[in-house]
Structure 1
Amino acid sequence: MSKLRILLRLATTAGPAVYSVVRRYGPQIRQLIQENPELFDTIRGRITSAAQTGKNKRGVAGIQARIGVLREQTTYLYASANNVGVAEQATAWRHELDALESALPVIEAMGAKQRREKLRSIEHTIDDLSAEILALTLEDDIEDAEIVDDE
């Protein structure tokens, strides 16, 4: 099985937003993996962490776990940013994750029906954030690999 197909299967378990990101960057990922086989493990690790986080835990605990992984990814993005735009975007996502996390104690105090609705809403927001963060991380990895190849 090709390495790109493996990544697509992992992305499928992570959700439709992550799958679309991996599919969109498929040609670049395939080329990078051929040129830099060690990059496959890095990309697979990122997709796997997005896929596994929070899948075993439901409710507030699962959301907290997912926020933790996204926070790590935004920290990585900020630290490896090649330009100001990437650093600013990582900072903005970090603030958004902080806001989501600060809302969790309030959600625990809500009634069951209202809690379910709010948790679904937050999960959708986290899915979208996860896809955006993964996309920018992959773009950054692709850009870094192309810069190394050009040198």
Structure 2
Amino acid sequence: MALTPKRITLLTTAAPVVIEMVRKYWPVIEQKIKENPELLHSIQDQLKKLATARKAGFTPDALRDRLAILREQVAYLRASADDDGEARRATLFQKQIENLEASIRTAEAASGRHREKDLRMISEKVDALTEKVVTAFIDEKSQDSYPQ
């Protein structure tokens, strides 16, 4: 895989979990960007937000910030859902975000090592959800920007 300027820009603006996702799905992303170059800017903005939020660590506030960014993306997915399947997926993502927020509140009540362990585990779950939501967001943005 040759690193073109577009690829370098995209990779350097993403957090580690997002970088792995981009590597995994690069052929699809690259094709979508070729079809609509403006899509790159939209995706970059979202990846920058996620990368910045992820660098803040796994404190309750940092995790809430990451979930807020995902909530924005899920709101976009819900608003642009073209069928029942997409609407259900957005609703499922929203439920997962709400569950993670409840987990953060529970972890805040814990003390010491339990709190840190719980917050790290929640951070890993946020990473996994981020991969799913960002993949859906990229796909939906590309469909909306360049209808098939």
TM-score range (shorter-chain normalised) is 0.7 to 0.9
**1:103 match:** 103
Aligned partners of 1:15 and 1:42: how far apart in 2? 19
How far off is 1:25 after superposition? 3.3
How far off is 1:20 after superposition? 2.9
Aligned partners of 1:71 and 1:35: how far apart in 2? 27
Aligned partners of 2:121 and 2:32: how far apart in 1? 36
**1:49 match:** 49
**2:39 match:** 39
How far off is 1:82 after superposition? 2.0
- Residue identity matched to 2:16: G
How far off is 1:35 after superposition? 4.0
**1:83 match:** 83
- Residue identity matched to 2:130: S
Identify if the C-alpha distance between structure 1 residues 123 and 146 changes in structure 2 by more than 3 Å, giving closer, same or farther.
Answer: same
- Residue identity matched to 1:108: E
Matched, 1:15 2:2: no
| Preserved CA contact (<8 Å) 1:4 1:29 | no
Matched, 1:29 2:29: yes
Regions of 4+ moved over 4 Å? none
Q: What RMSD over aligned residues (CA atoms) do the two structures have, in Å? A: 1.9
- Residue identity matched to 1:95: K
| Preserved CA contact (<8 Å) 2:74 2:90 | yes
| Preserved CA contact (<8 Å) 2:58 2:119 | no
Q: Which runs of 5+ in 2 are unaligned?
A: none
Q: Helix, strand or coil for the counterpart of 1:82? A: coil
How far off is 1:127 after superposition? 0.2
| Preserved CA contact (<8 Å) 2:58 2:120 | no
Aligned partners of 2:54 and 2:62: how far apart in 1? 4
**2:116 match:** 116
Give the structure-2-normalised TM-score: 0.86
**2:72 match:** 72
How far off is 1:38 after superposition? 2.0
Give the % identical residues: 32
How far off is 1:132 after superposition? 0.5
How far off is 1:33 after superposition? 3.1
